[in-house]
Structure 1
Amino acid sequence: MKKYYKIIIPVFLGIILSSCDDFGDTNLDPGRPGGENVSLVAITPTMQTQTHRNIVASAGRLAGIVTQQFIGFDAQQVAFTQYAIPESSLSDVWEFGLYTGSMRDCADMIERANATGENIHTRGLAKIYMAANLGLTTNCFGDIPYSDAFLGSDNLAPTYDSQEEIYASIQNLLDEAIADFGQTDPEGPLGDLVAATDWIAVAHALKARYYMQLTKRDATASEKALSEVSLAFSSNDDSPIFQFEGTPNGGNPLALFGIQRPNTLIIDPFFDNLMDNDPRKTKFMTPNVDGDQLFFENGNTELFWAQFSSPSPLISYSELKFIEAEALLRTGGDPSVALQDAITANMEFIGIAPADITAYLATVTGTDLETIIIEKYKAMYGAAPIESWNDYRRTGFPALVANPEGANGSNPSGIVPRRFLYPDSERLSNTASYEAAISNQGGHLLDNDIWAFED
């Protein structure tokens, strides 16, 4: 049996981290299931919950800052806005959210199902979530450990797979998940917390996302994405939506951050101005007495993404339709219907009145790439900020102006960051693999591009 190790945090550091919105005691269940005697179905909710926290917690907020949806107003968030983003910024995400969190759970579920030949659908679900977690991790860092990352005490210094290999692994996992869900599973219910009835359709949607991310690397990426879109789900109601608990202990991390660190992070003026004349603006932000736009205001239930119970799509129907619109444009088709459907899906999801949707759609007359990506950038706010950063690095839209104070030792060119830095724990405890990954990627700076998005 493999032995998995967790870091035991000293008491004084534990006290500090107990107020952390992402990985403190408000987010990690002290009775986290684990061990060979716990059923896979019992592990599923913990794995899903942590995955959806990963999407919208520290990494998501950082992506929102660098793509100018958020701006730091106080404390550490000001430094992040100036691209002073050190190695330690995402250490908790890497260590506790991913590699001893959701991805470890996925790996455990897959391994145990393989060993017993049972829980085929649960294994398929774990593969879908492993793929999504790998996508998030590689989008943030580039090359990452995967192939030998979950061997426990058998390998405490895993090598890094190249980003090209990670994208291939993502597609293989999703293909295997589709095959798993195509089989009969006598074990019955999955025990999952996401109201998606067709996980095969969800896997196809994710395949479309990760094909589309490779438009700079694969000349056939758009055709592949279109093929997958045709097999994916077809409405908001069919989307894989995780519902956070409406409580401080189980709430949406963005709302938790707003409660725990009020006004340290506000809406960036760029995003504020972009949302003028958009009926979603009052659902996304609210002005304070000084005129600054806030993403969170205690007691303001109009702010869709700032409630403890705010949902988290694994991939939304709106994102799927934006992928379709872009893929159609790139392959010579007409993206207009898909674009309008994408905007409509997002507005309906957050509760915009039909008349306001119709009025706004009449103002969206372009079907060029910039229009598609800017509309997608608006729609991904609050739900998938890393996807907006991916689109920016891949297409150059929206046309962001880098922070004039953004040049520093980790970002010497001063450009909008192209990646995040590996956590210092990797530099200190997995040195050889870490250095090989840095060498493979041409450096360890925020302005070093990653394979998927480099020119």
Structure 2
Amino acid sequence: MQRNIYAVMATAALGLALSGCSKKFSEYKQNPNEPTVVPPSQLLRTIEADMYVAPFGQEERNDQYTCSNYNYYDDNAYWDGVFHSQFASLNYTTLTNVLNMQASAATAANTTANPYDAMAKFFKAYFFVKMTMAVGDLPMTDALQGAANFTPKYDTQKSIFIQCLKWLDSANTEMGQLIATGQTYEFSGDSYFADFVGASPAMVQWQKAFNAFRLRVLVELSNQASDPDLGVQSQFAAIIGNPTQYPLMTSWQDGVQFQYNSQYNYYPNNNTVYGTQTLRYNMAAAYTDSLSSFNDLRVMMVAEPARGLGYADTDYRSYKGANSGLPLSTMTQGVTSNSTNLYSLIGRHRYYEGLTGENTFIIGYPEMCFNIAEGIARGWGSGDAAGWYQKGIFSDFDFYGVKDGDNTVYLQKPSGSLGDDIIYTVHFNYAAYMAQPLVAFAGNNARGISQVLEQKYISMFRNSGLEGYYQWRRTGVPGFLQGPAQSGYGNGGTVPLRFQYPQDEAAANTANYQAAVQSQYAGKDDINETMWLLK
């Protein structure tokens, strides 16, 4: 204590001695070579990085696109607390960065009318939607206040969606007004549409992304679309009916997508890890078998033939995935070598022979097309559902390099090494594909909606995080097998419906957490409970 008193006295004396100087002592302490404020461009890059969900992770297996057959590295189980954590990861730290970016940009520009402000509204909507999709109700209105409120109350999932839709509408309006002025705005640091300054392509592209994401959110609300408070149908109709006010993507190149490079950002499957992944991962049935049944050439672009089935390499019957719920011991028996496999392996040429694989969509154009087709088919707005359905399919063909005509297909030779390929020429006809009974659009009815959902699921292969799983959870498409025989899932062979709240939330905000769990799930914070969104 005595030392502290002396320190105070010494500081006071020093303050008196310097009182005649023109500068304050605090100014002398500042290092002119160190920044005192984080520029919004740096925060933007950090926030955008948090949007990315890598392919080949647990999300991909929960979407049932690929499988692990070797439990030393991974498995296909869901989050039941035995194989994988059942607790959600929430993005409040990211949202704090969003608020800091918004404030920093307003200070630097001396106005809130700047691109970062529009981006902040989008990010708030994006991350709150991501979080509520995982758990249900969340602190929102009272959240992000720091020491001012350590125990924020929970907002209902319905109110969260209402607010997020408002943010997205406001973000579109603000970005559109900024673009229309033609003025120069500082907007660097963007990772997805490159670094531009001014009313740039990045701002234009992000405005399209805002609206594409808003369409995703509206479709996610399909089970609650009749609720007048949400305005799902009117908002959907407004967006697709006014492209000037709500510009939309026009090709897959417009999508928000993560691009890999051969210097430091490798695709998770690449030639440096091929040795450890060779036979330990295979294709899943929900995705692969759908493509095979549609005689869809995309399957040959992304998978190897299961030669143990006895068909020619270019016969669609050669492409088969394993049921994701199979016990790993059973699945492994079907993956013995590239010449005797009963299940298709992940395509060697596209994913392993190089380092960069393919871009990973975060918000993709094909998905947007299918969301529009679904909404029109549900009667939410006027338009050509069949046309949007076809646009989505053809755009995804283009992404995978599937041409209307002759196509070059690379398949690894039986027992061949990496890069030792057989090259086939396979003819594919777009019109014939679309005319097949399984593919030809059945109209604005239940079957037509199911077809849209099937193709949307296919288009989200290895991208868009958990959107494939969320679509199944909302619609039942595609059909994920369930029951005791699906022991590979864990959770008694049942696919769960949600994550549990994080343990630190239950410990630090106990009363509000318990009230939210009681109001939603009758007091059971359980992975098999049904949230408001799905009722």
Q: Distance in 2 between matches of 1:176 and 1:257?
A: 45
Instruction: Map 1:38-437; keep pairs closer than 5 Å.
Output: 38-53=38-53, 61-62=58-59, 64-75=60-71, 80-81=76-77, 84-85=80-81, 89=85, 94=89, 98-100=91-93, 102-113=94-105, 116-118=110-112, 120-181=114-175, 182-183=177-178, 184=181, 186-195=184-193, 196=202, 197-219=204-226, 221-230=232-241, 231-236=246-251, 239-247=254-262, 249-252=264-267, 262=277, 265-276=281-292, 277-286=295-304, 289=338, 291=341, 292-295=343-346, 300-303=348-351, 308=356, 310-331=358-379, 334-355=384-405, 356=428, 358=430, 359-363=432-436, 364-367=439-442, 368-405=448-485, 411=491, 414-437=493-516
Q: Distance in 2 between matches of 1:104 and 1:156?
A: 14
Contact 1:44 1:191 in 2 (8 A): yes
CA shift in 2, pair 1:75/1:257, >3 Å: farther
Q: Residue deviations 1:32-71, cap 9 Å, x none?
A: xx99611101221221122123x7585xx33x43442233
TM-superposed deviation, 1:265? 4.7
Q: Which moved more, 1:314-323 or 1:114-123?
A: 114-123
Q: Distance in 2 between matches of 1:259 and 1:426?
A: 40
CA shift in 2, pair 1:286/1:87, >3 Å: closer
CA shift in 2, pair 1:247/1:408, >3 Å: closer
1:361 is aligned with what amino acid? M
Q: Residue deviations 1:416-453, cap 9 Å, x none?
A: 22112223333334333332332232032222111111
Runs of at least 5 residues in structure 1 that lack an aligned partner in the other structure: 1-33
SS at match of 1:198: helix
Q: Residue deviations 1:9-28, cap 9 Å, x none?
A: xxxxxxxxxxxxxxxxxxxx
Contact 1:70 1:268 in 2 (8 A): yes
Q: Residue deviations 1:234-260, cap 9 Å, x none?
A: 412662333333258534567799779
Q: Distance in 2 between matches of 1:79 and 1:347?
A: 30
CA shift in 2, pair 1:215/1:174, >3 Å: same
What's the TM-score once normalised by structure 2's chain length?
Answer: 0.67
Match of 1:446 in 2: 527
Contact 2:260 2:356 in 1 (8 A): yes
Match of 1:25 in 2: none
2:284 is aligned with what amino acid? D
What's the TM-score once normalised by structure 1's chain length?
Answer: 0.77
Q: Distance in 1 between matches of 2:273 and 2:296?
A: 23
Q: Which runs of 4+ in 1 moved over 6 A?
A: 254-261, 407-410
Q: Residue deviations 1:292-336, cap 9 Å, x none?
A: 3334x6xx3413999546323332111111011111111186521
1:404 is aligned with what amino acid? P
Q: Distance in 2 between matches of 1:386 and 1:257?
A: 27
Q: Distance in 2 between matches of 1:254 and 1:125?
A: 32
Q: Distance in 1 between matches of 2:47 and 2:98?
A: 7
CA shift in 2, pair 1:232/1:186, >3 Å: closer
TM-superposed deviation, 1:200? 2.4
Q: Distance in 2 between matches of 1:187 and 1:330?
A: 41
TM-superposed deviation, 1:124? 1.0
SS at match of 1:194: coil
Q: Residue deviations 1:347-406, cap 9 Å, x none?
A: 112322233361433332133121111111111111224222222222221222215356
Q: Distance in 2 between matches of 1:260 and 1:43?
A: 38
CA shift in 2, pair 1:256/1:438, >3 Å: farther
SS at match of 2:224: coil
Contact 1:143 1:163 in 2 (8 A): yes
CA shift in 2, pair 1:56/1:174, >3 Å: farther
* Higher alpha-carbon Rg: 2
Say how many residue pairs are matched.
409
Runs of at least 5 residues in structure 2 that lack an aligned partner in the other structure: 1-33, 194-201, 306-336, 406-427, 443-447
TM-superposed deviation, 1:87? 10
2:504 is aligned with what amino acid? S
TM-superposed deviation, 1:121? 0.5
CA shift in 2, pair 1:428/1:75, >3 Å: farther
1:422 is aligned with what amino acid? Y
Q: Which moved more, 1:340-349 or 1:154-163?
A: 154-163
Identical-pair percentage: 21
CA shift in 2, pair 1:270/1:209, >3 Å: closer
